[in-house]
């Protein structure tokens, strides 16, 4: 069923349009080879991915800072694998990861098709908790920057999703009203609940196929947006 009266569509970037898991895996493969870290990449990623999600949750809730996020997720993963890595090398890997991550450009399936479909009828925007410079490079390298009228990030707003301030900041930047806006993202807490509490509509991009609330609009692939918009 099509949603009426929407003029502005706000997307999350990582895990919604930009395929973070795929690009991250390629980055780790590259930096481990560069630094001669002989860890099994499959085992590493299996442990790292939930650790990273938890660290981002802590960061989103302002319980840790950027440096603690970048160091802690690697240190905890190597510790869990009982793989010895010196602190100095952890810091090098952390820097290399940030430097190389944005050189990869994999998007979720059908991202370009869906943006082409939506752009003639809506103004498209980004709201992201990611770091400003990194997010800018991801949009440019993956060649989707031109689709978006505005990009709101946590550094610019001074807070992270789901804080209402970042959603209101995005509305102001886009010259949009909440009742004419919809948020699409993979985080039920940060994207969906955050947007709903400010008066946006919202669609949960449940690509992981987790259990979701039955009354929330949900898609598991981007082409399903055509059912709603």
Residue spans per domain, the chain: 8-19+107-227, 20-101
Q: What distance lies between CA 164 and its chain's CA centroid?
A: 18
What's residue 213's pLDDT? 67
Same fold for the domain at 8-19+107-227 and the one at 20-101?
no
pLDDT band, residue 5 (cuts 50/70/90): very high
- Residue closest to 66 by CA, chosen among 98, 93, 37, 88: 98
The pTM for the full model equals 0.91
76-98 average pLDDT score: 96
The CATH architecture to which 8-19+107-227 belongs is 3-Layer(aba) Sandwich (3.40)
CB neighbourhood size of 99 (10 A): 12
- Residue closest to 185 by CA, chosen among 17, 52, 62: 17
114-134 average pLDDT score: 95
The CATH architecture to which 20-101 belongs is Orthogonal Bundle (1.10)
61-69 average pLDDT score: 91
């Amino acid at each position: 069923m099509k949603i009426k009266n929407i003029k502005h569509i706000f997307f999350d970037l990582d895990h919604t349009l930009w395929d973070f898991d795929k690009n991250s895996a390629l980055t780790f493969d590259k930096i481990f080879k560069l630094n001669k870290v002989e860890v099994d990449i499959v085992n590493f990623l299996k442990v790292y991915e939930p650790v990273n999600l938890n660290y981002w949750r802590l960061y989103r809730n302002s319980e840790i800072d950027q440096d603690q996020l970048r160091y802690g997720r690697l240190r905890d993963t190597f510790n869990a694998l009982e793989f010895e890595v010196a602190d100095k090398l952890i810091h090098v890997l952390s820097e290399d990861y940030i430097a190389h991550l944005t050189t990869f450009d994999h998007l979720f399936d059908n991202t370009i098709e869906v943006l082409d479909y939506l752009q003639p009828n809506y103004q498209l925007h980004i709201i992201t908790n990611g770091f400003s410079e990194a997010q800018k490079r991801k949009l440019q390298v993956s060649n989707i920057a031109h689709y978006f009228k505005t990009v709101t990030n946590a550094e610019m707003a001074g807070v992270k999703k789901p804080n209402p301030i970042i959603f209101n900041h995005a509305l102001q930047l886009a010259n949009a009203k909440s009742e004419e806006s919809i948020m699409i993202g993979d985080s039920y807490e940060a994207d969906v609940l955050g947007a709903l509490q400010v008066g946006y509509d919202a669609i949960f991009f449940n690509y992981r196929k987790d259990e979701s609330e039955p009354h929330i609009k949900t898609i598991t692939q981007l082409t399903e947006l055509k059912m709603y918009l």
